[in-house]
């Protein structure tokens, strides 16, 4: 069995398109639940470099307007395919294009309105991220941010 002696840092992002829909994809690693793109921070890489690289690798999208949203942790989540301690650093960003090519880590994707996303079978960490994104957007709409 694989052992882990330190937490692993992973980045993820809510990607918005021009209609303010968000990108979600299904992942076998998360029991076929819907997730946002992301992955491990590599040694010597900045967080912005990591999120751009992971999104490009998983979706072939280029992104801009990257903003930190939240930091969460997962200690031995039953939803994940391996026993891991993960620290999620989550962002929001904008897609520069609409052409998507998924890699083999993701099975299918959708663009959906954030409120409709909450009706999907999201993993627990993606659900919290979408909820936070909605809260931030409401604050912006009300002129509070």
Asked whether the CA dihedral 104, 83, 71, 50 is positive or negative, the reply is negative
pLDDT tens-digit readout, 89-132:
999 999 998 899 999 889 999 999 999 999 999 988 899 999 99
State what percent of residues in the chain have pLDDT above 70. Answer: 86
> What is the reported pLDDT for 75?
63
Which domains, ranges and CATH numbers included, belong to the chain?
8-141 (3.90.79.10)
Q: Alpha-carbon distance 47 to 90, whole Å?
A: 10
pLDDT at residue 67, as a whole number: 96
Between 27 and 95, the more confident residue is 95
Q: What is the pLDDT of residues 123-142, one digit of tens each?
A: 888 999 999 999 988 887 66
Q: How far apart are CA 15 and CA 95, in angstroms?
A: 6
């Amino acid at each position: 069995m694989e052992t882990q002696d330190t937490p692993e840092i992973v980045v993820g992002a809510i990607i918005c398109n021009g209609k303010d829909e968000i990108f979600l994809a299904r992942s076998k690693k998360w029991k076929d639940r819907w997730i946002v793109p992301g992955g491990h921070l590599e040694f010597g890489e900045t967080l912005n470099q990591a999120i751009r690289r992971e999104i490009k690798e998983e979706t072939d999208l280029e992104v801009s307007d990257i903003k930190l949203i939240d930091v969460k942790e997962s200690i031995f989540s039953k939803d994940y395919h391996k026993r891991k301690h993960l620290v999620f650093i989550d962002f929001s960003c904008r897609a520069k294009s609409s052409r998507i090519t998924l890699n083999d880590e993701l099975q299918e994707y959708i663009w959906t309105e954030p409120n409709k996303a909450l009706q999907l079978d999201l993993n627990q960490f993606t659900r919290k991220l979408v909820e936070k994104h909605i809260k931030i957007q409401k604050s912006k709409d009300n002129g509070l941010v």
